[in-house]
Chains A and B, each alone.
Chain A
Amino acid sequence: MELTADKIKELVVKPENKVYTKTPLLTDKTLSYCPGCGHGVAHRILMELVEEMGLENDTIGIAPVGCSVLAYEFMNVDMQEAAHGRAPALATAIKRLWPNKFVFSYQGDGDLAAIGGNETLHTCNRGENITIIFINNGIYGMTGGQMAPTTIPGMRTSTSPYGRDVQMMGYPLKMTEIVAMLPGTYYVSRQAVYSAKHVRKAKKAIKKAIEAQLEGKGTSFVEIVSNCNSGWKMTPVKANQWLEENMLDYYHLGDIKVDGKLVKEIV
């Protein structure tokens, strides 16, 4: 029997053989993100976990201000859109008022590390039993590619057009390492989504974060080092290469705090 493309399709494309498709916990709306943007992957693995862990009816998510301001349009669960940087404050109250719900905030680097730095620190320091998903692409995407607190030294943005000069503009802020130092955090990890291997790892990390919350352990925090093709002015494929070659030297991947204990030397 010769295996033509049509024959393979006929033999394989059957409902019982489906091994991967978009979770129904993502709506059918076209994502507002640029082609190749890591936000879409991060949204998907988070919602896959909500589905797989049976949390669809017990999840409340907080969308930030920034590129993912419309996350509530795509994540098909109860959602609230926060004021810029204040998602952890919203999450704090929601979790305290609905202690049996899974409550997460989904925030970018400007939202979480700049304008919302204080809320991030204090929420983690109180050990609020919530999960924070932090997308770090080193730039302000929504407003057109300006410097973020997380922009790495030398990186060009529209407000650091000659590259980030740390003497003049300060150093990139490693919020994830900072929150890992706080006694309120239970699980802190930095992941990436630029390859299939990394996406699968990131999903495992987010699962651990969710489990920590369900067990009432305190704040769980997962950073995802991501790309910004438009802001970085690269093709998606080039951007992912650049991320791997440049961002990861500064933002080391892996778990930083597990079961409430630091598992990595913080540098």
Chain B
Amino acid sequence: MAKKVQGYIEIDKERCKGCELCVVACPKDIIRMSKDVNAKGYHYAEFFNPEPCVGCADCAVVCPDGVITVYRARIEV
């Protein structure tokens, strides 16, 4: 069994304002804007493909509203 660094992000979609800066910031292109809207009417950011995520936190670092929480662990695959 090999080990890999696996990341995962949680997006507080109700507090997301849909600015898309996290989409641009993500080096793995695994965040996109949802088709749905949140209660405020924004298309919120969506983490659609966790596997390539390394938990670099760039998305959270550029998020003006602090809605992204980042996790990172070494897991066995």
Contact residues of A with B, CB < 8 Å?
1, 3, 5, 8-9, 11-14, 17-23, 26, 30-31, 33-41, 44, 193-196, 199-200, 229, 235-237, 240
Contact = CB atoms under 8 A, between A and B. Distances in A.
Contacts of A41: 61-64
How many residues of B sit at the interface, in one of the four size bands? 35 or more
B29 interface: no
B75 A31 contact: no
A229 B6 CA distance: 34
B10 A19 contact: no
A5 B75 CA distance: 14
B36 to A, nearest CB: 16
A265 B22 CA distance: 35
B72 to A, nearest CB: 5
Interface string B38-77: 0000100000011101011111111111111111110111
Contact of B21 (A21, A36, A200): A36
Contact of B25 (A13, A18, A34, A195): A195
A12 B75 CA distance: 8
Given A8-B50, A35-B42, A18 B70 contact: yes
